[in-house]
Amino acid sequence: MRAELIYREKYVYADSAIREMVLWKLPEKTPEHPQGLKYRLYYGLPDGTPVVRYDNEAGKGHHRHLGNREEPYRFRNVETLVADFLQGIEEARGGAEMKRQIEIGVGDAASTAEGFADAWNSAVRGETLERRERLNFENLHTLLKTLTPKRWILLKILRQKGPMSVRGLSRELDRDYKNVYTDVRRLEQIGLIGRTRDLRIQVPWDIVEARLRLAA
């Protein structure tokens, strides 16, 4: 059996940097993975350069990458893991087939990371987990700057028409190829567009749900 994805969340900062937190449930517990879980915590620059990474890859155990430096990480509990990861980001920043659904929202960096620990603890307790995937933005301005009306239309047309090339999509939209290419690259970076095995672009989501809280 393969590892089962049980949680994935992406967070887009105002400067377009990306944080991603991913958790898989393994088929069985092992001495190397006593909780039966595998994780990857990532923070990178807008150009894709990784800055902070934590994971428990087989053969290496818990470890982290801080820039170009790799070092072992002493795992205590999931809360400390998340706290250390967020601290690393803060320092780096200077201070049967189910329908696939992704939730889009706005929130601060700490509160949006809590779902990772919740999923971890639920899995350790042996609870049945539903797959949840999220895309969070630091503020509404960043969300609207990233998900422009033209990009929403792009996503809708690509979902309706199915996998195609960027050039084919630009013809469908009657837009300049370079502008469509830029939009596709950004949407691919934040996970709203994926690639087929033959590298055509596609929208892997059946439901894209945006939740915005207008009042506390």
Amino acid 96: pLDDT: 41
pLDDT > 90 fraction of the chain, expressed in percent and rounded: 70
Specify the pLDDT at position 97.
43
| Whether 21 and 83 share a structural domain | yes
Q: Are residues 202 and 118 in the same domain?
A: no
User: Domain with 177 in it: what CATH number?
Assistant: 1.10.10.10
Three-class SS state of 49 = coil
My answer on whether 10 and 58 are in the same domain is yes
Per-residue pLDDT tens for 84-123? 999 999 888 876 445 688 999 998 999 899 999 999 999 9
The boundaries of the domain holding residue 167 are 147-211
Radius of gyration of the chain (CA): 18
Q: Which pLDDT score is estimated for 99?
A: 66
The answer on 122 and 39 residing in a single domain is yes
11's CB contacts (< 8 A; 6+ apart) are 18, 19, 20, 109, 112, 113, 135, 136, 137, 138
Could you tell me the pLDDT band of residue 158, with boundaries at 50, 70 and 90? very high
Q: How many domains does the chain have?
A: 2
Whether 119 contacts 41, CB under 8 Å? no
Residue range 163-186: mean pLDDT, rounded: 96
* 1 pLDDT more than 70: no
DSSP strands (E only) in the chain:
4-12, 18-25, 37-44, 50-55, 63-66, 69-72, 101-106, 132-137, 194-195, 201-202, 207-211
Is residue 216 situated within a structural domain?
no
Q: What is the mean pLDDT of residues 172-184?
A: 97
Q: Read off the pLDDT of residues 112-152 as tens digits, 9 standing for 90 and up.
A: 999 999 999 999 999 988 888 999 999 999 999 999 999 99
Question: Is 102 domain-assigned?
Answer: yes
The whole-number average pLDDT for the span 19-35 is 93
Structure tokens at 88: 């690393």
Distance, CA of 186 to CA of 82 (rounded, Å): 26
